[in-house]
Structure 1
């Protein structure tokens, strides 16, 4: 079972990692939800420099993208978050063993999975048809909508996406938030390509928003709520997208996919899912 994490100061985390998050040792892979062999760098999360996939056929290596509070982040050198606790609990319900975690930039997760450097992706990745052309997903384990985040008390206070016309908008590379910017804002002529800034992680985007160099950010609702609680930003509005997160695996890893789905069901039917949710979302 997953051990309860110690409580942490989210404001201190965000302030401390804002400028330095890019300095976290990240493996240069990108991706969304995809099949993954998990591997770790030799840091305090217990990673090593060898190929990521577990040596034993029942050992798996997980990949995640820190900087997406409260799902995954690094605090005092330790990888923590909702996805971390949940995957560990889910794997405990299976015949697999979670050998390691590997920290990877989000848009490098799927390539890392395909290259067998990791075996599973646990990074609040939305299940989409495009991603399913490349990787497979477990059953969903979390639902979320999208929000627009703005500077607290700032001049830009949109009520809908159309109100972002002509403004400078940001999102994290490879996320569904970026997809919304491309499909709903750029493609519709509301903003130009030059009005969009893509970031490796949302911590950097929020810093720019606080400084006023960005007007708005498109971001998952639970993550936006965390930033709004700890930084000088606020949610302008939320719009329904009906997104569902799943653990990503390689398309040929049917046994692992089924095991993770059954593990999710077992954890959700027990009290553990509620305990993990309460810890990270105060719900």
Structure 2
């Protein structure tokens, strides 16, 4: 993990799902319980452990804990969370159904045309995951040619499959399988319906620790995750950046990485 503290602008120099309401709250609603603090609603996409997932019906994960800690350092109040498929998060944000996205979302130029991001809070590469007891052991992207491959809709993993395999003609589009979340993709991998899944490295490590799958190799992409916010919400974005800086400067950020990823 890289703790580089890059601003969003410095870094950039380098719909279809149904929401499940966890807690109803008007976006940028009226005063909350903290002396009239502005209430906000966060959106995420469970099925991306350890960033966001469901345990015994409860929404948990690194992003959940981190955003809550960040908001606690601001004059805003987090009124609740709503759950979406990943590809529906940006439409939910721009339609003002939620006020911030916390979902392991990579900062990139395409998304930045529609929304803004906070400063990065986590760095990642893509990992290629295969069955632990299988006979397929790819060592590079070219080894995936002709194989049934999976990724989650709207993610960088899907973009990597498209740009590195399908567009160059190394993989027929019929061999690519997209999923609403990575739990379904890994289950299909375990069942032998696909031969590999392209997924963010820390998430791949979590699946490998819990299921009979393994990381065959890592494809370096140098991605940075940020919280997604609406364009023009500059005051809110600055508040989140200030809160993130405070959380990083104290022990909270390291405590959360230790909790969800082990000692860093």
Counterpart for residue 36 of structure 1: none
Q: CA RMSD in A?
A: 1.4
Give the alignment partner of residue 53 of structure 1, picking from 22, 27, 34: 27
Are 2:64 and 1:84 aligned?
Answer: yes
CA distance in 2, matches of 1:199, 1:137: 25
- The corresponding residue for 1:16 is none
Give the ranges of 4+ consecutive aligned residues of structure 1 lying more than 3 Å apart after TM superposition. none
Give the aligned partner of residue 13 of structure 2: none
Q: State how far apart, in whole Å, the 2-side matches of 1:146 and 1:27 are.
A: 24
Per-residue deviation at 1:27? 6.2
Quick one: distance in 1 between partners of 2:27 and 2:176? 36
- Tell me which of 123, 130, 135 is aligned to 1:155: 135
| Deviations 1:145-170 (CA, angstroms, capped at 9, x unpaired) | 11100011212110000000100000
Q: CA deviation at 1:234?
A: 0.4
Q: 1:85-118: per-residue Cα shift (whole Å, max 9, x none)? A: 0000000111111111001110000000011000
5+ unaligned residues in a row in structure 1: which ranges?
A: 1-25, 30-39
TM-score relative to the length of structure 1: 0.83
Report 1:67-146 matches (<5 A).
67-146=47-126
Query: Which residue of 1 is the match for residue 199 of structure 2?
Result: 219
Indicate conservation of the 8 Å contact 1:177/1:220, yes or no: yes
Alignment pair present for 1:229 and 2:209: yes
- Quote the offset at 1:71 in angstroms: 0.4
TM-score (norm: length of structure 2): 0.89
User: Which residue pairs with 1:28 in the alignment?
Assistant: 18
* Residue matched to 1:35: none
Aligned residues: 242
**Counterpart Cα distance in 2 of 1:199 and 1:163:** 22
Structure 2 residue 228 is matched with structure 1 residue 238: no
CA distance in 2, matches of 1:92, 1:53: 17
